[in-house]
Amino acid sequence: MTTMKRFQGKVAIVTASTQGIGFSIAERLGLEGASVVISSRKQKNVDEAVEKLKARGIEVLGVVCHVSNAQHRKNLIDKTLQKYGKIDVVVSNAAANPSVDPILETQESVLDKLWEINVKASILILQDSAPHLQKGSSVVFISSIAAYQPQASMGMYGVTKTALLGLTKALATEMSPDTRVNSVAPGFVPTHFADYITKDESVRKAVEERTLLNRLGTTEDMASATAFLASDEASYITGETLVVAGGIPSRL
């Protein structure tokens, strides 16, 4: 594991970070010296994740936060400021994919939920945190390879992830020069969120064969890319999306 300490003295908020990609990102930032603020919807998950991170010597604060709840978002920022007094990094990782229906058959309530959690909450969490971001701060959105080519079974999810690419560009302009805004577009990573890949051996194999590296991604792969973009090593990078997908085609 890395011994770099790129986040010494920094405070990082990671949403939806008690398992999967979000947890690995929080762990990576913490191991590199950040004080990390993790969150998810369930207190039990928050408590368990806090214990795991503390066991690795990481300074961590856990807060229950359903990102589509305004009071929860405000509480997340308030608690962070009460404990650490500032914010240097925001990683917006929360996402939902409640349906596998074709877009034209997707219920309006499901469309609302997809926009609410995957796009709108990403904006609202930044509206709350932006006034407290330090000079030289960094925002990273977690998009998806599906942003470039939405798949049939998750078409609308893919479209919301495409919206994050536009949001990255727009906010990079709006938040410059003091805050950089980038995103990571993960390929297929076997997490609880994407268990449909791992449950079926033939699906897994088909996905692996689509990559040039003949393997699925790991949560650590995504954490490494996110940590790079959030760190001062990427101090001249803003408005960009880093595709971390093992060579699955994304664009020209």
Q: pLDDT tens-digit profile of 121-150?
A: 999 999 999 999 999 999 999 999 999 999
Whole-structure pTM value: 0.96
**223 has pLDDT over 80:** yes
C-alpha–C-alpha distance, residues 61 and 138, integer Å:
19
**pLDDT of 5-44, one tens digit each?**
999 999 999 999 999 999 999 999 999 999 999 999 999 9
Q: Is residue 116 predicted with pLDDT exceeding 90? A: yes
Residue ranges and CATH numbers for the domains of the chain are 11-189+218-244 (3.40.50.720)
pLDDT of residue 124: 98
pLDDT per residue as tens digits for the range 59-95: 999 999 999 999 999 999 999 999 999 999 999 999 9
Return the pLDDT at 113.
96
* Active-site hit among 84, 148, 157, 236: 157
196 is catalytic: no
In angstroms, rounded to a whole number, what is the distance separating the alpha carbons of residues 9 and 99? Answer: 41
Burial class (CB in 10 A: 0-12, 13-18, 19+), 31: buried
What pLDDT is stored for residue 19 in this prediction? Answer: 95
Main-chain phi, psi angles of 215, to 5 degrees: -155, 160
Contacts of 94 (CB under 8 A, 6+ apart): 15, 16, 22, 67, 117, 118, 121, 122
pLDDT at position 196 over 80 = no
Beta pairing partners, 141: 92, 183
- pLDDT (mean) for 228-245: 98
- Per-residue pLDDT at 3 exceeds 70: no
**For residue 209, is pLDDT > 60?**
yes
Q: pLDDT tens-digit profile of 99-112?
A: 889 999 999 999 99
Q: What pLDDT sits at residue 1? A: 56
What is the residue whose two structure tokens read 């760190």?
231
- What is the token pair recorded at 58? 């990481």
For the cut 80, the answer to whether the pLDDT of residue 178 exceeds it is: yes
Helices 155-175/121-129 angle, 10° precision: 20
d(CA 169, CA 219): 25
